[in-house]
Amino acid sequence: MVMSADLCHTCDNNCLLKVLSDSDRKTLLQRATYVNYRKKEMLFKQGSFQTSLFLLKSGLVKTFMERRNDKNIILKIIAPNEIINLPSFFQPTYEFSAITLCNCEVCIIPLEDVRQVMGKKPELGQLFSQEYSRISSYLLQRIKTLGTKQMHGRLADVILYLCSPIFENTNIFEYLSRKDIAEIAGMSVEGSIRLLTEFKNDGLINIEGKQISINNMELMQRLSEIG
């Protein structure tokens, strides 16, 4: 379902665009659209020409680098009120793909409109810079994890990430397959399942169906630190 942004409630108190005045926000959203996506719908594809800014209002989205043989690397799980394609905002094409994990509401704003308002309103540019820096730091940490940690440390990082307050009340594990968890950790599905069982047997985590919870936070954090 697609509707005009005039009818949406995207710019509430939690929205990234709250730094703008009502008039500036209205100007920015004149050509925006508010779209309801169903589960497992592609928002944009890696390598395609970038024309819009995607702001997630509700739901969960995974961003990932596509590789051969369907072995992708999941970069991040996007939570509400995050800009989905911010890491490639200054590039002509999308540098990764994005797909919904559940039903989502997304505000889509033409990039040229965002850049025009950003040129007139430095506070919006400052906000984008802060968000860009935050996400860049996260992605650099992901590179460090994938490049320097052993499988136990990588999987511990993933579990800590998915059990963090970011995804509180989202029921995140309901929407993730074991393949997704493996692709976040940068390992095979078989390897991730084996280690999850090992973590459970060692009392680090509890597994009930698709749900995973941490039983021993101190040891899980220690395992993450030593890699």
Count of alpha carbons within 13 angstroms of residue 179, beta-carbon side: 5
pLDDT, tens digit, for every residue of 115-165?
888 888 888 888 888 888 888 888 888 888 888 889 999 999 999 999 999
Q: What DSSP character marks residue 222?
A: H
State residue 98's pLDDT score. 96
Q: At what angle do helices 189-201 and 151-162 cross, to 10 degrees?
A: 80
Full-model pTM? 0.86
- Fold type of domain 2-121: Jelly Rolls (2.60.120)
> What whole-number percentage of the chain has pLDDT above 70?
93
State residue 139's pLDDT score. 85
How far, in Å, CA of 146 to CA of 91, rounded? 25
Structural class in CATH, domain 149-226 = mainly alpha
Mean pLDDT of the chain: 87
Mean pLDDT of 197-221: 93
Q: pLDDT confidence of 16, banded at 50, 70, 90?
A: low
State residue 2's pLDDT score. 53
Residue 72 contacts residue 57 (beta carbons within 8 Å): no
pLDDT, tens digit, for every residue of 77-90?
999 989 999 888 88
CATH 1.10.10.10 domain extents, the chain: 149-226
Structure tokens given for 44: 């944009």
Mean pLDDT of 170-179: 92
How far, in Å, CA of 50 to CA of 43, rounded? 11
Structure tokens given for 89: 């905002």
Longest dimension (CA), the chain: 57
State residue 9's pLDDT score. 47
Q: Which residues pair with 74 in a beta bridge?
A: 64
How far, in Å, CA of 77 to CA of 227, rounded? 22
* Integer CA distances (angstroms), 112 to 27, 44, 211, in order: 12, 17, 42
Residue 15 has pLDDT above 90, yes or no: no
pLDDT, tens digit, for every residue of 17-51?
777 777 777 778 888 899 999 999 999 999 999 99
Q: pLDDT confidence of 7, banded at 50, 70, 90?
A: very low
| Count of residues in the chain | 227
Q: pLDDT confidence of 10, banded at 50, 70, 90?
A: very low
How far, in Å, CA of 118 to CA of 209, rounded? 46
Helix (H, G, I), strand (E, B), or coil: what is residue 73? strand
State residue 43's pLDDT score. 96
CATH 2.60.120.10 domain extents, the chain: 2-121
How far, in Å, CA of 170 to CA of 196, rounded? 21
